[in-house]
Chain A
Amino acid sequence: MHDDVFAPRRGVQMRRMLRQHPGAALGVLFILVLLLASLFAPLPYDPMGIDGGATLRSPGGEHWFGTDGAGGDIFSRVIYAARVDLSLALAGTVLSLVVGVLLGLAASSKGKGSERLVRGLDAFQAFPLLILALALVSLSGNKLYMVVVAIALINVPRFMRLLRSEVLSLRESRFIEAATATGASPRRIIFRHLLPNVWGIVLVQTSLTVANAIVVIASLSFLGIGVSPPTPSWGSMIRDGAGNMSSGEWWIAGFAGLAVVLCVLAFNQLADAIGDRTARTYR
């Protein structure tokens, strides 16, 4: 598929991809709106505020998503929580991406050493990584940057494994052979020939990582680790409403959980869309 190597400009590519995958387009739109709203939109109530006179109201005209046990407005809190939840998820993803790609490239040789390293990664991934992440953040005294580190801890091995397998198979291909034959330096081969070709799958993994990070952060704050009150986060709101689920007040945990599910769906859809495109261009 040599015509596709000279792909159209990025913007055109992007638009075409979103048209073919309405789910991904909707997802991206949802995330953007949520992010902008959390940053700039005037919220109907103070997200940190409580109102002892209006506790456990069900969703309605006055409080769109109802109120929690302390009288906090669920709608304002769900929107506001996107700030800390999404930015932590993105920070964790960027760290995983950078460290994972660099280490993955370094591990992409065919020697014994790199095979041992992969075996070591197997052993590391045998850890109950979520438990390990929880322990790290909790033992360090709930520092927010440790949440970012914990996300990287879980996701860096995935990036490494992916990059290694992809680079190892690409190295067999004709154009790398050709580049080597023309005397290109290893650095040129890596940056001009290998990286542009693994970019697609790296992007897919990045999108999946954001989704994973959102779940990890929600799990952490569901347990009271990481983001601490009164700052609203989706996980801690689910925790607040967990007990109410068996007494019928579903909206406290429900809307926060819905926000998590929609964000994860959005990034999964985006990953699918990028994956489809990548598959068509390179294979």
Chain B
Amino acid sequence: MTLSAMPGLPVRKARKARGPVRLVLERLGFLIAAMFGVVTLSFLLVSVTPGDPARLIAGPMASNSQVEAISQELGLDKPIVERYVDYMGGLLRGDLGESYYSKRPVTTEIFEKLPATLELIILAVLFAAVVGIAFGAIAAYFRGRAPDWISRLFTGVFQAIPDFFLGLLLIYVVFFLLGWAPAPAGQIGFTESTPPKVTGFIPIDALIAGDPALAGSALQHLVLPVLTLGLVYAAYFAKTARATLGRALHSQQVFFARAMGLPERTVLRYALVESRTTIVTYAGVIFASLLGGEAIVERVFAWDGLGAWALQGILRLDVPVVQGMVLIAGAITLITYTLLDIVVGLLDPRIKHA
């Protein structure tokens, strides 16, 4: 039993002081190890689960020999170890395999879909941070009074609504009843065509192509999906901001600032600085969890992004697509966490690095 170390609590080894270079190197080392783990696990989970992609692709009417032929073509008849070695070998060359359906390289598809998802996530995190911190700050400042109650009511409700259902509600209210937002049919309207690709971000590309009307339309189409994700995650933000700011408002700096007779605005600023690292960390975590977490919302709004692409891959048992998604999302998440660790660690000298 692992608790054996408990009695008598051995003398703790003094922690070696660690310089920033060592911290960065250690985190990068862990990043590589974790990526290897992520790749292996995703390969295993997706390959070992029962369910036969070849049969699904062949359709219900196919004979056994047809299924076998497809299985051979996709390399599914090879033993799992060989497939794993093939996959890892391909990975080292930057090759994630081909989609079973479109027959195009998974990497190409990922880079095509990534901008649409990134613009959604980044805007949603920004919205969530601004609204959430504002609500959380108000709740913390007026703790136990009416504004706190109202803010907590909103957070409670928005935390309980599944994001895809909130998206549908917004479609009903803002599009059907009010007619303020365009139809939920993707990044641009039915009759409009995508601008020539430069950055991959449609509003920016439209501006580059000299078509402000199209850029405007693209921005309008962003409103509802961003609002959907933003509101749900603003609730999480508010909860965290309330807790951290509440603690910060009772910190010694704040008491001291008040005792000095500093204006309330300055005091609040001190409290915000005090809780800065927690909130930055939280933004990073939310950014990471949105990647993949927003897939269903993309589907609701017919958004042609990474999430919807991965969902389609899942529903069609398109194994390379699913693996590609898990890999790219895992990679971006791990990189985000590592950056956060390093940034927060370097910014805040009080944090010890375990």
CB distance A180 to B8 under 8 Å? Answer: yes
CB distance A139 to B293 under 8 Å? Answer: no
In the complex, whether B202 has a CB less than 8 A from a CB of chain A is no
CB distance A126 to B288 under 8 Å? Answer: yes
Nearest to A264 among chain B residues (CB) is B160
In the complex, whether B164 has a CB less than 8 A from a CB of chain A is yes
Nearest to A194 among chain B residues (CB) is B3
From the candidates B3, B8, B175, name the one contacting A190 in the complex (CB within 8 A).
B3
Question: Which chain A residues in 53-87 approach chain B with CB under 8 Å?
Answer: none
Nearest to A176 among chain B residues (CB) is B6
CB distance A128 to B326 under 8 Å? Answer: yes
The interface residues of chain A, by DSSP majority, are classed as helix
Per-residue contact bits, chain A 249-283, to B (CB 8 Å; 1 contact, 0 not) = 01001100100111011001100000000000000
Q: How far is it, in angstroms, between the C-alpha of A12 and the C-alpha of B193 when the chains are bound?
A: 67
Q: Which of B84-92, B123-131, B310-318 contacts A (4 or more CB under 8 A)?
A: B310-318
CB distance B51 to A141 under 8 Å? Answer: yes
From the candidates B5, B37, B168, B291, name the one contacting A110 in the complex (CB within 8 A).
B5
Most buried by B among A109, A135, A190, A245: A135
Q: How far is it, in angstroms, between the C-alpha of A260 and the C-alpha of B168 when the chains are bound?
A: 14
From the candidates B45, B291, B293, name the one contacting A136 in the complex (CB within 8 A).
B45
Q: Check A122/B183 contact, CB under 8 A, given A115-B354, A268-B156.
A: no
In the complex, whether B169 has a CB less than 8 A from a CB of chain A is yes
Q: Check A123/B171 contact, CB under 8 A, given A109-B4, A140-B51.
A: no
List A contacts of B65 (CB < 8 A): none
Per-residue contact bits, chain B 19-35, to A (CB 8 Å; 1 contact, 0 not) = 00000000000100010
From the candidates A127, A218, A262, name the one contacting B326 in the complex (CB within 8 A).
A127
In the complex, whether A192 has a CB less than 8 A from a CB of chain B is no
List A contacts of B3 (CB < 8 A): 105, 108-109, 186, 189-190
* Interface size range on B against A: 35 or more
List B contacts of A261 (CB < 8 A): 157, 160-162, 165
In the complex, whether B325 has a CB less than 8 A from a CB of chain A is yes
List B contacts of A242 (CB < 8 A): 168, 300
CB distance A124 to B41 under 8 Å? Answer: yes
Would you give the shortest CB distance from B83 to chain A, in whole angstroms? 15
List A contacts of B293 (CB < 8 A): 128, 130
Q: How far is it, in angstroms, between the C-alpha of A132 and the C-alpha of B172 when the chains are bound?
A: 30
CB distance B37 to A238 under 8 Å? Answer: no
Q: How far is it, in angstroms, between the C-alpha of A198 and the C-alpha of B183 when the chains are bound?
A: 50
In the complex, whether B337 has a CB less than 8 A from a CB of chain A is yes
Would you give the shortest CB distance from A86 to chain B, in whole angstroms? 16
Would you give the shortest CB distance from B248 to chain A, in whole angstroms? 20
Q: How far is it, in angstroms, between the C-alpha of A23 and the C-alpha of B293 when the chains are bound?
A: 29
In the complex, whether A159 has a CB less than 8 A from a CB of chain B is no
Nearest to A131 among chain B residues (CB) is B292
Q: Which of B140-148, B211-219, B269-277, B327-335 contacts A (4 or more CB under 8 A)?
A: B327-335
Nearest to A138 among chain B residues (CB) is B314
List A contacts of B51 (CB < 8 A): 138-141
In the complex, whether A169 has a CB less than 8 A from a CB of chain B is no
Would you give the shortest CB distance from A80 to chain B, in whole angstroms? 19
Q: How far is it, in angstroms, between the C-alpha of A187 and the C-alpha of B4 when the chains are bound?
A: 10
CB distance B161 to A131 under 8 Å? Answer: no
In the complex, whether A114 has a CB less than 8 A from a CB of chain B is yes
CB distance A123 to B314 under 8 Å? Answer: no
In the complex, whether A107 has a CB less than 8 A from a CB of chain B is yes
CB distance A246 to B159 under 8 Å? Answer: no
In the complex, whether A98 has a CB less than 8 A from a CB of chain B is no
CB distance A120 to B37 under 8 Å? Answer: yes
Most buried by A among B165, B310, B317: B165
List A contacts of B7 (CB < 8 A): 180
CB distance B291 to A128 under 8 Å? Answer: yes
Question: Which chain A residues in 216-250 approach chain B with CB under 8 Å?
Answer: 218-219, 222-225, 238, 241-242, 245-248, 250
Q: Could you pull out 24 A-B pairs where Cβ atoms are within 8 angstroms? A: A109-B6, A111-B2, A124-B37, A127-B38, A127-B333, A128-B325, A132-B42, A134-B314, A135-B314, A135-B322, A139-B51, A187-B1, A190-B3, A211-B160, A219-B162, A219-B164, A219-B296, A223-B299, A223-B314, A238-B168, A242-B300, A261-B157, A264-B159, A264-B161
4 nearest A-B pairs in the assembled complex, by CB-CB distance: A128-B292, A109-B2, A123-B34, A257-B165
Residues of B within 8 A of A (CB): 1-8, 30, 34, 37-38, 41-42, 45-46, 49-51, 156-157, 159-162, 164-165, 168-169, 171-172, 175-176, 183-184, 288-289, 291-293, 295-296, 299-300, 310-311, 314-315, 317, 319, 322, 325-326, 329-330, 333-334, 337, 354
Residues of A within 8 A of B (CB): 105-111, 113-115, 119-120, 122-124, 126-132, 134-136, 138-141, 171, 176, 180, 186-187, 189-190, 211, 215, 218-219, 222-225, 238, 241-242, 245-248, 250, 253-254, 257, 260-262, 264-265, 268-269
Contacts A127-B42, A186-B1 given; 17 further ones with Cβ under 8 A?
Answer: A105-B3, A108-B2, A109-B6, A126-B288, A128-B329, A131-B295, A131-B329, A132-B42, A134-B314, A135-B49, A139-B49, A139-B314, A141-B51, A211-B160, A223-B315, A246-B175, A264-B161
